[in-house]
A and B are shown apart, each in its own frame.
Chain A
Amino acid sequence: MLILMLSFAFYLFTLWKRQFFYAGLILQIIYLGMRGFELERLPLVGPHDTLAFLSAAVAAFSIVFARHLKDSLQFINISAIMSAVFTAFALTSKQHSAPLPPVLKTFWFELHVVLAFLSYALFGIAAILGYLFLKERDNYFDGLQYRAVLIGYSFFSISMIFGGIWAYLAWGTYWLWTPKELWTSILWLFYSLYLHVRLRPSWFGKPMAILSITGFAIVLFTYLGVSLLMKSSHSF
């Protein structure tokens, strides 16, 4: 837990010196590695581990995307704040250290969850780029935001396909009408909408930026809101 606390502090120190961002990410990767080693599985069950994973994924992707920006200072700072917030929530959430139920011991589950959280992180990056576009009106943010959404959407779609295969093997059906599945459909349709709006050049810029920010709000509700507030196979 101390390592995770340190990584939280380092993400905040990024506002002072960028090197802390890399240090924060390295510490978080070490923490996740140690959790995985301790649990003998991927640490991706429950809000504590998934929030820590999401935080690290946001930080890792932001380093990749920052390389394509002329001035990445603001982008890295906002990413660091986002990673710090997710880490703070991870620190306040209970660890799920019990052995996994046998039905979760399959690579379909691991692929489903890993891809879902990588896509959430990319949608988060797109929202940051959308915010920066609204602030700076630089078209470069718009182009990068589209790339983040396209890759995120692909990961999310593949995650849903793998989830369907796993559900069929585990529960005999590839689809269940539960609030989580419904919100997941809303999220997938929303980003499908984004990609189709993108085909109309007259809607480039502000509408796309607003869509990417709204999309991330839906991501957060689908991930945290539904899992915490509504009863489903994905409840925490």
Chain B
Amino acid sequence: MLKHIIEFFLSIRTTIWLLLVLIAALFAGAFIMPAKEEFQTIHSMPLFDWLREQSIGITWWLWSAIGILAVITINTIACSIESVIKKRKVTQWLLLISPQVIHIGFLFILLAHLLSSSGGFMGNVVAKEGTLLKMPLDNLVLHIKNINIDIDHYGYVRNWHVDVQYLSGQDKVISDRIKPNKPSLKEGFNINIKDLQAFPQKAVLIQVSREPGAIWALIGGILFLVGTITLIILKTKIEK
């Protein structure tokens, strides 16, 4: 029995079938998602909390995808370990290790999604100049000091920046400036501007989010990138 289980997880056939079933599940989801209004609230809370609140009739494909990804994780780890053990005496060591680096990168990205799906947070609020917002952090208040919007003569927003201050209980003030692609990062929270209004009164739609998996996604992405580039360079060299 144990032998069959090990053989199952060490098989590339398993990987292929798992990927096929995963693609089929996401394919079904790609048609269910735009058709069901419930999915518009998917970013309002951590994914796992949202999933628990929804009917299985519309979320079965996501649950299936999570289950398949769990099995793929075991399959990936097992195949990578077996590959390294089997081929450890090859001379092209980098060629052996680079696909495994790609696999590790992929697993880190999965870990990132797992962390963000269980402990992520996202909230939006409209604010004007002078607005004070209670942050989801202890004794911290966000003060929207200035909203600067640069509009060209055709009416297009050319640039913008928002000056903010963090006020803590002990009158401590920390200033920051939020710009396009430059959020304010505070104790694991990402504070950015989702939308702006210049008239009749300057206002911004502030988004406060926390992605506990972001750093793991970045590490996974870098590993994936390094593994991929190394693999291509080595394969090209071999062909030459």
Give A residues with C-beta under 8 Å from B: 98-99, 101-103, 105-106, 108, 150-151, 154, 157-158, 161, 164-166, 168-177, 179, 182-183, 185-186, 189-190, 192-193, 196-197, 199-200, 230-231
Chain A residues positioned under 8 Å from B23 (CB to CB): 186, 189-190, 193
Smallest Cβ distance from A112 to chain B, in angstroms? 12
Interface flag for B27 (CB, 8 Å): yes
In the docked arrangement, what's the CA distance between A161 and B228, Å? 12
User: Is the beta-carbon distance between B192 and A179 smaller than 8 angstroms?
Assistant: no
Given contacts A179-B33, A182-B26, A186-B30, 4 further A-B contacts (CB under 8 A): A98-B156, A101-B157, A169-B182, A177-B33
| B225 and A173 contacting across the interface, CB-CB below 8 Å | no
Q: Is B194 an interface residue (CB 8 A)?
A: yes
For this complex, 9 residue pairs linking A to B, each with C-beta atoms less than 8 Å apart, are A151-B232, A171-B192, A172-B208, A173-B122, A173-B190, A175-B113, A186-B30, A193-B23, A231-B34
Is B95's beta carbon under 8 Å from chain A?
A: no
Knowing A99-B152, A150-B232, A182-B29, say if A164 contacts B16 (CB, 8 Å): no
Distance, CA A230 to CA B120, complexed state (A): 26
Cα(A179)–Cα(B217), bound, Å: 21
* A219 → B minimal CB distance (Å): 14
Q: Closest chain B residue to A178 by CB distance?
A: B33
Interface residues in B195-240 (C-beta closer than 8 Å to A): 207-209, 211, 214, 217-218, 221, 224-225, 228-229, 231-232, 235
Query: How distant is the Cα of A231 from the Cα of B140 in the complex, in angstroms?
Result: 36
Check if A196 sits within 8 Å of B12, measured CB to CB: yes
Query: Which chain B residue lies CB-closest to A230?
Result: B34
Q: Of all chain B residues, which has the CB nearest A169?
A: B181
The answer for the CA separation of A173 and B15 in the assembled complex, in Å, is 29
B19 touches A172 (CB 8 A): no
Q: Does B116 contact A (CB under 8 A)?
A: yes
Does B225 contact A158, Cβ atoms closer than 8 Å?
yes
B1-49 residues with Cβ-Cβ distance < 8 A to A are 12-13, 15-16, 19-20, 22-23, 26-27, 29-30, 33-34, 39, 42-43, 47
Q: Are B29 and A105 interface neighbours, CB within 8 A?
A: no
- A169 contacts B221, C-beta separation under 8 Å: no
Nearest-Cβ distance from residue A95 to partner chain B, whole angstroms = 16
In this complex, the interface size class of chain B, counting residues with CB under 8 Å from chain A, is 35 or more
Pick the residue among B16, B39, B116, B194 that contacts A175 (CB under 8 A): B116
Residue numbers of B with Cβ under 8 A of A are 12-13, 15-16, 19-20, 22-23, 26-27, 29-30, 33-34, 39, 42-43, 47, 112-113, 116, 120, 122, 152, 154, 156-160, 180-183, 190-192, 194, 207-209, 211, 214, 217-218, 221, 224-225, 228-229, 231-232, 235
- Neighbouring A residues of B235 by C-beta, 8 Å: 150
Query: Which of B13, B29, B191 counts the most chain A CB atoms within 10 A?
Result: B29
| Residues of chain B contacted by A171 (CB below 8 angstroms) | 192, 194, 207
Which residue of chain B is the closest to A103 with respect to CB atoms?
Answer: B180
Give, as a whole number of angstroms, the nearest-CB distance from B125 to chain A. 13
Q: Which residues of B lie under 8 Å from residue A157 when comparing CB positions?
A: 224-225, 228
Cβ–Cβ < 8 Å partners of B231 in chain A:
154
Shortest A68–chain B CB gap in Å is: 10
Q: Is the CB of B39 within 8 A of A166?
A: no
Inter-chain contact A172/B232, CB cutoff 8 Å:
no
- How many Å lie between the Cα of A151 and that of B29 in the bound state? 28
Closest residue on chain A to residue B150 by CB atoms: A102
Q: Which 4 A-B pairs have the closest CB atoms?
A: A172-B209, A102-B180, A161-B221, A172-B190
Q: How far is the CB of A193 from chain B (nearest CB, A)?
A: 4
Chain B residues near A185 (CB, 8 Å)?
A: 26
Of all chain B residues, the one with the shortest Cβ separation from A102 is B180
In the complex, what residues of B have CB within 8 A of residue A151's CB? 232
Q: Are A183 and B221 in contact (CB under 8 A)?
A: no
Asked if B15 contacts A196 (CB within 8 A), the reply is: yes
- Minimum CB–CB distance for A11 against chain B, Å: 29
Cβ-defined contact, A174 with B214, below 8 A: yes
Distance (Å) between the CB of B234 and the closest chain A CB? 12
Is B22 a contact partner of A170 (Cβ separation < 8 A)?
no
For residue A221, which residue of chain B has the nearest CB?
B30
